Chain A
Amino acid sequence: MTSTGEAVQFWVLAVIAVGGALGMLLMKKAVHSALCLAATMLSLAICYLAQGAVFLGVVQIVVYTGAIMMLFLFVVMLVGVTSEDSLKEQLKGQRIGAVLCGLGFGVLLIAGLANARLSHFTGLSEANAEGNVQGLARLIFTKYVWAFEVTGALLITAAIGAMVLTHREKIREPLTQRQLADRRVRDNIQLPPLPAPGVYARHNAVDIPALLPDGTVAEDSVMGTLRERGQIRDVSQEMLQRMAELEESTADWLGRPSSARPQVAGPRQALETVPTPTKEEAE
């Protein structure tokens, strides 16, 4: 029989593991699924350590949570964090059928296990007598040496396969900096450097375009990718609002009559759509 401590540890870890697995299954976003799975794998690693598989426990943490899950996260980031499962069903009733099949499978598996007559562990104290790593090494390099060598071939094949699959042929040589500079002079469209993003003394994030003297947005100040995606944050409206508030409070403090208050200049595109507070008051 096992100790009470192990029972407590098992129940805590089992809850975390099953919770993580269910979370992975039910979370809509792939990133959340990956993090849930990492929790499950960590709790399994502690289970291995508790069961005397010290080497495997450490390998589980290093290889699974360290390498494989990070690879997953890397690909999730590459493929798009926001990519969610579509809820549209291609086959009618497939999801319900799948859930029923899963339940049936689980019931069969667990009912089969329930027939087992197991009361005690033989324990690994004898097998681990000279150390878990030494014991595993003895087996790997004697009884399982052929499988171990085949594993080497498998890993090399996988590495080459991944490289071949993700390799892209270069269609033409990339332009050098020299050539780009020459082309810029030849085309004579934008000779000086592009304007920097951000609004002076307020915002300096890369997705906020600089404002031209007349208040319009300088498109060139934001990088092309963000422009393509339409992820530009235009703060000219906000700036205008704040400017108007500032003018207002100044005028209040000075005690100017409403007719003497200055009009706040703003973006030309914006003036037609959003009336400034000063305007409303003037009317």
Chain B
Amino acid sequence: MNPVNYLYLAALLFTIGASGVVIRRNAIVLFMCVELMLNASNLALVTFSRLHGNLDGQILAFFTMVVAAAEVVVGLAIIVSIFRTRHSASVDDSNLMKL
């Protein structure tokens, strides 16, 4: 099997995640799409690590996971506090600045 297959899979997952961010409206699902993109990049990094025969790629993937965890915690807290005030998790409803 060609090593590039792993990269194709990563690219496909990243594309699905990126499309999801622009297609979906629910803020929670948007966050899941961002998580999917981060996961796809992690897969690419792990594959690069194996291609080059050193562990630097895995270290980068590890840091990505840490940042993703922090991001999710803050993001979900923001969603919860928006939901408390606006009673909606849809990103279309957050248009207070609009005339």
Binding site for B on A (CB under 8 A): 1-2, 6-7, 10, 14, 17-18, 21-22, 24-25, 30, 33-34, 37, 40-41, 44, 47-48, 51-53, 55-56, 59-60, 63-64, 67-68, 71-72, 75-76, 78-80, 83-86, 88, 90, 94-95, 98-99, 101-103, 105-106, 109-110, 113-114, 116, 118-124, 126-128, 132, 135-136, 139-140, 144, 147, 151, 154-155, 157-159, 161-162, 165-166
Contact A24 B36 (CB under 8 A): yes
Interface size on B, residues (CB 8 A): 69
Contact B1 A21 (CB under 8 A): no
Binding site for A on B (CB under 8 A): 1-9, 11-20, 22-26, 28-29, 31-33, 35-36, 39, 42-43, 46-47, 49-56, 58-59, 61-63, 65-74, 76-81, 83, 89-90, 92
Alpha-carbon separation in the docked complex, A132 to B7 (Å): 22
A-B contact pairs, 23 of them (CB 8 A): A2-B1, A2-B3, A7-B1, A10-B9, A18-B12, A21-B36, A37-B32, A53-B50, A53-B58, A56-B58, A68-B69, A71-B73, A72-B32, A72-B76, A95-B23, A106-B12, A106-B19, A118-B51, A122-B51, A135-B55, A158-B73, A158-B74, A165-B78
Q: How far is the CB of A91 from chain B (nearest CB, A)?
A: 10
- Give the residues in chain B near A78, CB-CB below 8 Å: 80, 83
**A24-B33, A44-B43, A72-B31 in contact; A127/B55 too (CB < 8 A)?**
yes
Q: How far is the CB of B29 from chain A (nearest CB, A)?
A: 5
Tell me whether chain B's interface is mostly helix, strand or loop, or mixed: helix
**A123-B50, A151-B63 in contact; A63/B28 too (CB < 8 A)?**
no
**A106-B15, A154-B66 in contact; A98/B22 too (CB < 8 A)?**
yes
Q: B23, B65, B79: which contacts A102 (Cβ < 8 A)? A: B23
Contact A30 B4 (CB under 8 A): no
Contact A155 B58 (CB under 8 A): no
Q: How far is the CB of A145 from chain B (nearest CB, A)?
A: 11
Contact B62 A59 (CB under 8 A): yes
Alpha-carbon separation in the docked complex, A85 to B25 (Å): 6
Q: A30, A44, A52, A165: which contacts B29 (Cβ < 8 A)? A: A30
Q: How far is the CB of B27 from chain A (nearest CB, A)?
A: 9
Contact A75 B80 (CB under 8 A): yes
Q: How far is the CB of A17 from chain B (nearest CB, A)?
A: 6
- Give the residues in chain A near B2, CB-CB below 8 Å: 118-119
- Give the residues in chain A near B6, CB-CB below 8 Å: 10, 47, 51
Contact A106 B70 (CB under 8 A): no
Q: How far is the CB of B45 from chain A (nearest CB, A)?
A: 9
Alpha-carbon separation in the docked complex, A53 to B6 (Å): 14
- Give the residues in chain A near B62, CB-CB below 8 Å: 55-56, 59, 136, 140
Alpha-carbon separation in the docked complex, A162 to B4 (Å): 39
Contact A56 B79 (CB under 8 A): no
Alpha-carbon separation in the docked complex, A109 to B1 (Å): 20
A-B pairs, 8 with minimum CB distance: A102-B19, A122-B53, A106-B15, A158-B70, A165-B77, A7-B1, A98-B22, A162-B77
